[in-house]
Amino acid sequence: MAPSYYFLLAAFVALVASQATQASDPSPLQDFCVADKNSPVKVNGFVCKDPMHVTADDFFKAAELDKPRNTKGKVGSNVTLINAMQLAGLNTLGISLARIDYAPLGENPPHTHPRATEILTVLEGTLYVGFVTSNPNNTLFAKVLHKGDVFVFPKGLIHFQFNPIHDKPAVALAALSSQNPGVITIANAVFGSKPPISDDILAKAFQVEKGTIDWLQAQFWENNHY
């Protein structure tokens, strides 16, 4: 092969490798970049507010995570997320925070965060938590957590939390490695998409009758993230 081919191949590999290292939230190039949510300019994240107009309130949110949340929905949990949409000072800083309330026997159903690793600690109660690795092994790593215990969910992997106690609620606090981690609840995405995925496709994928898929798609798939 000609030397120029090797040069182009090496350049391509270097470019791909450099992009892979930037696949998560980029590092800030200044002390802060408070989100200007009124700007008409669209960028990956938010445009920076004029630093001369930034105040301490841009980095502050009053008493947002101290109150128990409503867990009376179908899945019995409530996720209260603080990201750059709620706290402008988080823009470009690559981190967000969530309080998760669980009713007795409530769960935060299987979901993924496409842009973030999550670290969770139990504030009150008991949780059974776990994540599943990618194909082909699909290994389940699971643990029962008690107050003060900590567990990590790797970026992009399907994970869940469940309160196994029938008469006591639970509360957890989670930090995520993105200003906007995103969430894909598996059942909601598969059976509640708009427009719906063809029942022929889902019946074959899940190896069940089409009637079962039709019934699942007819359900109300609740969002527990607020």
111 assigned to a ligand binding site: yes
For residue 143, the SS3 value is: strand
Residues 155 and 117 sit within 8 Å (Cβ to Cβ): yes
118 assigned to a ligand binding site: yes
166 assigned to a ligand binding site: no
Structure tokens at 99: 């309080």
Closest C-alpha to 163, from 79, 103, 223: 103
Residue found under tokens 């598969």: 190
Give the C-alpha separation, 214 to 115, whole Å. 31
Residues 48 and 88 sit within 8 Å (Cβ to Cβ): no
User: 3-state DSSP: the chain helix, strand, coil percent, rounded to 5?
Assistant: 20, 25, 50
146 assigned to a ligand binding site: no
Per the annotation, binding residues are 108, 111, 113, 118, 159
Per the annotation, binding residues for Mn(2+) are 111, 113, 118, 159
Per the annotation, binding residues for oxalate are 108, 113, 118
